[in-house]
Amino acid sequence: MARPLVGVIGNAYAVEDRFTVQMAGERNLRAIADVAGALPLVFAGQPEITDVGDLLNTVDGILLTGARANVHPSHFGVMPVAAYEPYDQGRDSLALTLARVCVEQGVPLFGVCRGMQEMNVAFNGSLHPEIRELPGRMNHRMPRLQSGEIHPDPTVVFADRHDVTLKADGVFKQLLGRGTIRVNSLHGQGILELGERVIAEGIAEDGTIEAISIADAPGFALGVQWHAEYDPQTNPINRRLFQAFGEALSARQRP
């Protein structure tokens, strides 16, 4: 039997500030292929290019990846601020619709970083554009040098940086077999108010929501704030998440 197909959302990007492309990080693709046991298929994060119905008739699940752009604040009733750009409104429009339809139809859905944030907004939740600005919160952004440049060593950038306490009777604790995990941290925007049906499954030391599930979802519908795609080949926490996603894909795979 052929491997399940996973749709991986693309992000708008300008090459040389002139050529518009849709791109997806290779680590996402490798995580799907190596650990979930599926075939990744990148699709355009643009509603005028990608029809949700046709897409879901083709793939067995969806991965909403992380991205440089923030979710546009108009989707949760807040005025945009130039300091929190860039935005990718094409991806917003497609991803928010896609998240709701996937849950409704039981299509396996895994949201990573921005993908988790999109899931929350899709169910009428809100985000804060810079979570470290809230009282008592830590800096969740990637490590930088004193010069302000991003640290050149990816093992430092993606190193586990804080603990996450999992909901006592939650999906993640059952799936991972432990109550506390340690994760990487590379985000500015984060969940402010939970959406309808969105359950906080994991909380960081400073109160930041790091993992979610969707209540009464008929299929796999989980999101994580950390970059689980970075090292699931070697990290047992992230490996189990992608394995569980793969199991859900296989269970739904078309003959």
User: Which of 118, 130, 201, 229 is an active site residue?
Assistant: 229
CA 63 – CA 245 distance, rounded (Å)? 9
Task: Please count the residues of the chain.
Answer: 255
In this structure, the dihedral spanned by the alpha carbons of residues 125, 128, 134 and 140, taken in order and rounded to 10 degrees, is: 110
The tokens for 205 are 């030391």
Q: Is the separation of the CB atoms in 227 and 154 below 8 Å?
A: no
Does residue 229 have an active-site annotation? yes
Written as one string, the DSSP assignment of 88-130 is -HHHHHHHHHHHHHHHHHT--EEEETHHHHHHHHHTT-EEES-
Structure letter (DSSP) for residue 87: B
CA 113 – CA 200 distance, rounded (Å)? 14
User: Which of 72, 128, 140, 227 is an active site residue?
Assistant: 227
User: Which of 72, 113, 187, 210 is an active site residue?
Assistant: 113
Q: Is the separation of the CB atoms in 140 and 171 below 8 Å?
A: no
Secondary structure element (H or E) that encloses residue 66, with its range: none
The tokens for 65 are 């990846």
Does residue 130 have an active-site annotation? no
Does residue 151 have an active-site annotation? no
Q: Which residues are catalytic?
A: 113, 227, 229
